[in-house]
Amino acid sequence: MCTARTEQSPHARPKGLAPLQHKKRTNRKSRIVLVGAAALMLLGGTGALAGALEPTDGPPGDGLGQVRGADAPGAIEGEYIVVMKESGKAAPDASLLRSTESVRGLAESLLEETEALGATVERTYSTAFKGFSVRADETEARRLAALPSVAYVEQNGVERGDDMTQINATWGLDRVDQRDLPLNDQYAHITGGGNVRAYVVDSGVSVSYPAFTGRASNGWDFVEDDAVAQDCHGHGTHVAGTVGGAVYGVAKEVKIVAVRVLNCENRGTTADVLAGYDWVAANAQLPAVANVSIGGSASDTKDDAVRGMVEAGVTVAVSAGNDDREACLQSPAREPDVITVAATTAADARWGNSNYGDCVDLFAPGHLIESADYDDPDGTAVWSGTSMAAPHVTGAAALYLAEHPSATPAEVTEALLDGSTEGRVTDAGSGSPNRLLYTRF
């Protein structure tokens, strides 16, 4: 299985609380109230959703706020993500939040205000959302959470990729360019997406490999904090090869940009993953798509950050997850503004481990998918997972943007859903839309 995800159990939650679920859409064009509430929370609201995760709670009047996810598996002790409010009387001046430098300065002033003398600001987020990550003790983090300019504080955690199945087969491209089986051993496409950039937020990409014919470049490496986003695991290169590889890619001329947030074990911190999303939101050159084959337990922070990419004009495809359960139970798959992709087999059946449900938008090939291998310039690897399904949709979105470069993410999503093949997926799963990706718009 191949979707990158958090180590935190999607079922993990504070004692006494029911699982937090977002129903993504009542139909393929609607949006849910709960997610809207999450957005209002970021803008300064303090409603029920804002307090849905409350693992630590001080007595009234003690000047301590709450830290989300403190007891979740994979939580990193002493590391926190602070999300700022963006409007209202308690919010900092918007002019202070327009750059990374300004956010860092604001963060330092907040640490002084809470007398967090031993705390250290690690990363800042200025575009996808406003905030910063910090090393601090629990009391210092809770003091930050109590500040009127802070929306919430969430414990940093560990992100990882699911296990992978490597066997030898290929068929995905053949399936997405035709309505019905049997396959005809051909993949037909009108454009290659040469005027579109595809941001692959993953374990990096082997950008110099022949598979990308000089079209792949480094964005940033948030694991090593340098400008070379080299893949040492394989997940990201495989994903990029499906998005835009010369042989196995859907959009064979798209410009690939590698954004590395996962290490050589396909793991990374939530803070680094959020930094990748923020970097794309700040630096994307439109028209653009982004592939996020990363997921895990429900998190407003992750949802807010991927939505920030969409608000920056980037069409984002996300893997539904490989747990054979409701995709609405994890982030960022539950976020309504992204395209959440479940996986099928060559027989048009839902792949057995693929997540399903109301938060899925589309199915795409994800079983036994052949693509580029990260450590062999001329080699290939065959993996299964919703991580392999999502890049088919990312590539298809690039093809649409090549012909409609001014289309918004919502318009791209509508085009893909309206053009999809209906009623072909067997055992699609309760609540799933029976829609299979089709690339010949």
Could you tell me what percent of the chain has a pLDDT over 70? 80
> Quick one: pLDDT at residue 100?
65
> Quick one: pLDDT at residue 230?
98
Per-residue pLDDT reduced to its tens digit, 284-334:
999 999 999 998 889 999 999 999 999 999 999 999 999 999 999 999 999
Q: What is the mean pLDDT of residues 342-351?
A: 98
d(CA 193, CA 344): 24
Rounded to 10 degrees, the C-alpha dihedral 162/398/416/284 comes to 70
Please state, rounded to an integer, the average pLDDT across all residues of the chain: 85
> Quick one: pLDDT at residue 89?
38
* pLDDT confidence tier of residue 279, bands split at 50, 70 and 90: very high
Per-residue pLDDT reduced to its tens digit, 162-221:
544 333 436 999 999 999 999 988 898 888 999 999 999 999 999 999 999 999 999 999
pLDDT at 25 over 60: no
Helices 386-403, 235-244: inter-axial angle, 10-degree rounding: 40
Query: How many residues are listed for the chain in this entry?
Result: 441
> Quick one: pLDDT at residue 61?
53
d(CA 128, CA 306): 7
> Quick one: pLDDT at residue 97?
52
> Quick one: pLDDT at residue 161?
61
All structural domains of the chain with their residue ranges: 41-158, 161-436
Q: What is the largest CA-CA distance in the chain?
A: 69
pLDDT at 58 over 60: no
Q: What is the mean pLDDT of residues 340-346?
A: 99
> Quick one: pLDDT at residue 390?
98
Rounded to 10 degrees, the C-alpha dihedral 147/312/273/132 comes to -20
Per-residue pLDDT reduced to its tens digit, 245-259:
999 999 999 999 999
Q: What is the mean pLDDT of residues 371-392?
A: 96
* pLDDT confidence tier of residue 78, bands split at 50, 70 and 90: very high
Q: What is the mean pLDDT of residues 81-102?
A: 64
> Which residues are annotated as catalytic?
202, 235, 387
pLDDT at 64 over 50: yes
Q: Span 41-158: which CATH code? A: 3.30.70.80
Task: Confirm if 274 and 302 have CB atoms less than 8 A apart.
Answer: yes
Could you tell me what percent of the chain has a pLDDT over 90? 72
Q: Which CATH superfamily is domain 161-436 in?
A: Peptidase S8/S53 domain (3.40.50.200)
> Quick one: pLDDT at residue 2?
54
* pLDDT confidence tier of residue 117, bands split at 50, 70 and 90: confident
pLDDT at 225 over 90: yes
Q: What is the mean pLDDT of residues 55-70?
A: 70
* pLDDT confidence tier of residue 234, bands split at 50, 70 and 90: very high
Helices 138-146, 100-113: inter-axial angle, 10-degree rounding: 110
pLDDT at 20 over 70: no
> Quick one: pLDDT at residue 72?
82
d(CA 211, CA 231): 14
pLDDT at 6 over 90: no
